[in-house]
Structure 1
Amino acid sequence: MDIVSVTVICVAVLANVGIAAADLAKAPFVLANSAEVGVPSAWIPTLALLKAAGAAGLLLGLLGVRPLGIAAAVGLVLFYAGAVIAHVRARVFHTIGFPGLFLALAAGTLALTATR
């Protein structure tokens, strides 16, 4: 595996761990954004666990369990595609860059994981 792939996957793992931690800590920006797009605050811990599971799967894929890494990347792409859709449906465009960035990172990770 080349350095670019390892770097992108590590960034994706760290980004998802970070946002999952912010979700679990009920950071004010998380609560405000979720309320604005119509996501009930009761869903936030479950969504955080999905992000953390995705990060763990990417890490395990990086460590050699390739099918799990691919599955985690697919899951994160679907998760963040749903987040972008939620922003569009709610017409909340001023914060759409964040799920868009996570979606791009997940898609890049999927491309790199699936082709190695």
Structure 2
Amino acid sequence: MHIAAVIASVVLALAMLASGVMKVIRAPRIVSMMGAVGVTPRQLPVLGALQIAATVGLIAGIWLPALAIAAAIGLTLYFTGAIVAHVRAHDPARQGILFLVLAAITLALLLLDATTR
């Protein structure tokens, strides 16, 4: 189970790094998409920084499992909120569902790994 948890953590970390950097640099496509749900350009770097911090937590969590679990919990909550924001704004773009599923699977694998040690 440990290898699956590490692989899921690395995949999620890479996805969060890419998404976070796009928010921090305020990529036009991201600004437009996030604007549709009421996120201002000034809020984007904060959201991106949260994703980058989760990336650091997931990678450091390879050696400190509690940190990876905390990062996966944070991302699960983050993307639950993102999906709620998209639904409330009647925005059909729901890319956050994929990230939510990946974060939840990673969290489940990390918790299973922690309980089998």
Q: Same fold (TM over 0.5)?
A: yes
Distance in 1 between the 2:2 and 2:66 partners?
18
Cα deviation, residue 29, structure 1? 1.3
Whether 2:42 is the aligned partner of 1:42: answer: yes
**Superposition pairs for residues 85-100 of structure 1, below 5 Å?**
85-93=84-92, 95-96=93-94, 98-100=95-97
**Which position in structure 2 is the counterpart of 1:112?**
109
**Matched-pair identity in %:** 38
Q: Which runs of 5+ in 2 are unaligned?
A: none
How many pairs are equivalent?
113
Residue 2 of structure 1 deviates from its aligned partner by 3.9
Q: CA RMSD in A?
A: 1.1
TM-score by length of 1: 0.92
Please show how residues 56-67 of structure 1 align to structure 2 within 5 Å: 56-62=56-62, 64-67=63-66
Q: What's the offset of the Cα at 1:40?
A: 1.4
Structure 1: distance between partners of 2:25 and 2:83: 22
Name the structure where helix makes up a greater proportion of residues.
Answer: 1
**Contact 2:9 2:68 (8 Å CA) reproduced:** no
Mapping of 1:1-116 within 5 angstroms?
A: 1-62=1-62, 64-93=63-92, 95-96=93-94, 98-116=95-113
Q: Matches of 1:51 and 1:26 in 2, distance apart? A: 14
Q: TM-score, normalised by structure 2?
A: 0.91
